[in-house]
């Protein structure tokens, strides 16, 4: 308000010199916290393979999953061979595997038996040790791909039989059976054996896939079904190159900038706004190079197609795992569908979430495991969680926003890396409450009770605790699949109370060097 007696000129002058109000910043993306994760079943099965498992590289992933109706199967690679393992006995009615809690809230896997184990001849007798195995379902086919240490890749496509209880067992049939296709991708050049990674996606999902069928071998006459046209990327660490195949033909190859070469790769979804390339119609290829994530657009020719490089870690900490977390972000301004984040993990023992519009670090889950994290998988039942496997024998699931706590020890500590893990808030509160009851002084009891209440006080609502289990040796791979509501009904009836019914469940499989296959099923906690 102008002072009394001020002239009209003075009032206009004071109004002109007034500081304008700051423009409100846009709200931007909002992270979807989502429900908590509740374990339902945790078992371990001894695989009786013809030969002992070979160690492979640190980040090698040699296990895959397939859910086809009520049939569940796992695929395991060892040396130059690949095997199919039936998991139907684990999910049969009346099967055990109820959740048992151990010390510090760690899940204790129960012993179980697997069904048949058969060798897949089409994916066996590779030129070198198999380093990576990938499994997915596209165009009515189950696609199973393996690549060896030299970079040679094979993709076996088997038509799915919906509603058939033995659909998952079709992979064990002899090569050349009806409807099966085998696609071979030889290495670009022969070099030294080392880690190789493989990812695949359909390049033309709306088409009939005639190009892919032309480059396949086998019978190919299974009911007129044709193999979908695939885009496959193969990375070789020691050769420091990445090769992209489309329809069985090599369409692009590029070298990496870092000395250590690529250590992980994944395809990003198409049709989403991403920094550096706008709306990528065909998606980007994310490649981990030491502590950086390189984003490649295979359509471009400028600078080799590299549109962005993001420093996810400090220098000297290599990355070992990449995964796209769908439905993790929603934008209230745009009003569009929920977006996603790129999850990165590695030797720094943390999960970093990269926001794709500006490629900056959105959140960070520090100290997720006690040793370098080598494998990463997102959760479909609870999008706010990710599964992380450590270098030794630890597998943990927690919120990627960092609210699940972390491990206190690390591989460089004076204790040799055997530090105690930070307890979940519920267990912390229980311990503090016990201290309050055991303490004789009223002041100490009141302080402990207040600390317990503060631990459980979560401003965003909901519990913060994750879940974890421990294996018996080094992990050789981590695979994730989705159990639909119909297939998980029996698991929900035998699971822990509090899990929601009618929703999809997470199916996680982890393979250890000792030959044990650990299987975990988990679902979203009931709201309210």
Phi, psi dihedral angles at 12 (to 5 degrees): -65, -35
pLDDT tens readout for residues 76-100: 999 999 999 999 999 887 776 678 8
H or E segment at 202? strand 196-202
Q: CA dihedral defined by 112, 117, 123, 126, rounded to 10 degrees?
A: 80
How far apart CA 164 and CA 143 sit, in angstroms, is 18
Sign, CA dihedral 112-135-33-355, equals positive
% pLDDT > 90, the chain: 45
Distance CA 195, CA 144 (A): 19
Q: What is the mean pLDDT of the chain?
A: 77
pLDDT value at position 455? 45
Would you kindly state where each structural domain of the chain is located, as residue ranges? Answer: 42-159+180-203+228-408+419-424+463-486+504-524, 425-462
Alpha-carbon span 401 to 351, nearest angstrom:
9
3-state SS track over 5-22: CCCHHHHHHHHHCCCCCC
CATH of region 42-159+180-203+228-408+419-424+463-486+504-524, choose from 1.10.260.40, 3.20.190.10, 2.130.10.10, 3.40.50.300: 2.130.10.10
Mapping DSSP onto H, E and C, the string for 65-91 reads: EEEECCEEEEEEEECCEEEEEECCCCC
Q: Give the pLDDT band (50/70/90) at residue 145.
A: very high
Paired strand residues for 354: 342, 361
Which tokens in the block code for residue 293?
């994530």
**pLDDT tens profile 175-184:** 445 578 899 9
| pTM of this structure | 0.80
Q: Is 21 exposed, middle or buried (0-12, 13-18, 19+ CB in 10 A)?
A: exposed
390 SS3 class: strand
388 beta partners: 376, 396
Buried b (16+ CB within 10 A) or exposed e, 379-395: bbbbbbbbbbbbbbbbb
Instruction: Give the mean model confidence (pLDDT) for residues 230-240.
Output: 93
- Residues 298, 244 contacting (CB under 8 angstroms): yes
More confident call, 417 vs 337? 337
- CA nearest to 370, candidates 399, 398, 396, 349: 349
Residue 150 three-state SS: coil
């Amino acid at each position: 308000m102008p002072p009394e007696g001020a002239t009209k000129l003075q009032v206009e002058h004071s109004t002109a010199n007034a500081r304008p109000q700051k423009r409100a910043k846009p709200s931007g993306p909002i992270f979807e916290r989502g429900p908590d994760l509740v374990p339902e079943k945790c078992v371990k099965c001894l695989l009786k393979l013809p030969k002992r498992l070979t160690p492979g590289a640190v980040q090698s992933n040699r296990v895959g999953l397939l859910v086809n109706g009520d049939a569940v199967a796992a695929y395991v690679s060892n040396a130059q061979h690949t095997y199919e393992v039936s998991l139907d006995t684990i999910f049969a009615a009346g099967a055990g595997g109820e959740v048992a809690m151990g010390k510090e809230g760690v899940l204790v896997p129960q012993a179980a038996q697997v069904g048949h184990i058969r060798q897949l001849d089409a994916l066996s007798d590779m030129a070198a040790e198999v380093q990576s195995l990938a499994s997915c379902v596209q165009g009515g086919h189950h696609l199973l791909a393996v690549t060896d240490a030299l970079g040679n890749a094979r993709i076996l496509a088997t038509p799915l039989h919906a509603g058939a209880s033995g659909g998952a067992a079709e992979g064990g049939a002899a090569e050349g059976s009806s409807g099966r296709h085998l696609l071979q991708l030889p290495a670009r050049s022969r070099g030294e054996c080392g880690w190789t990674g493989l990812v695949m996606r359909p390049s033309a999902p709306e088409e009939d896939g005639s190009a892919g069928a032309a480059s396949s071998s086998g019978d190919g006459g299974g009911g007129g079904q044709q193999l979908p046209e695939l885009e496959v990327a193969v990375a070789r660490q020691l050769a420091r190159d990445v090769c992209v195949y489309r329809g069985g033909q090599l369409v692009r190859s590029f070298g990496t900038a870092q000395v250590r070469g690529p250590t992980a790769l994944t395809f990003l979804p198409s049709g989403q706004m991403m920094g550096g390339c706008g709306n990528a119609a065909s998606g980007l290829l994310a490649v981990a190079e030491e502590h950086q994530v390189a984003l490649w657009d295979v359509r471009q020719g400028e600078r080799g197609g590299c549109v962005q490089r993001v420093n996810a870690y400090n220098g000297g900490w290599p990355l070992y795992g990449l995964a796209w977390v769908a439905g993790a972000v929603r934008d209230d301004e745009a009003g569009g569908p929920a977006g996603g984040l790129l999850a990165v993990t590695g030797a720094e023992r943390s999960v970093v979430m990269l926001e794709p519009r500006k490629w900056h670090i959105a959140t960070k889950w520090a100290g997720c495991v006690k040793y370098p994290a080598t494998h990463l998988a997102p959760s479909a039942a609870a999008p706010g969680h990710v599964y992380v496997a450590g270098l030794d024998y630890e597998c943990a699931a927690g919120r990627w926003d960092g609210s699940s706590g972390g491990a206190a020890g690390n591989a460089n500590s004076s204790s040799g890396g055997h530090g105690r893990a930070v307890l979940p808030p519920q267990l912390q509160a229980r311990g503090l409450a016990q201290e309050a009851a055991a303490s004789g002084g009223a002041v100490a009891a009141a302080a402990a009770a207040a600390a317990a209440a503060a631990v459980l006080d979560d401003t965003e609502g909901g519990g913060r605790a994750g879940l974890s289990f421990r294996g018996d040796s080094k992990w050789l791979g981590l695979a994730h699949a989705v159990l639909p509501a119909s297939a998980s009904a029996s698991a929900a009836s035998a699971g822990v109370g509090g899990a929601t019914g009618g929703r999809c469940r997470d199916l996680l499989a982890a393979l250890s060097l000792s030959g044990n296959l650990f299987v975990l099923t988990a679902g979203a906690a009931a709201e309210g």
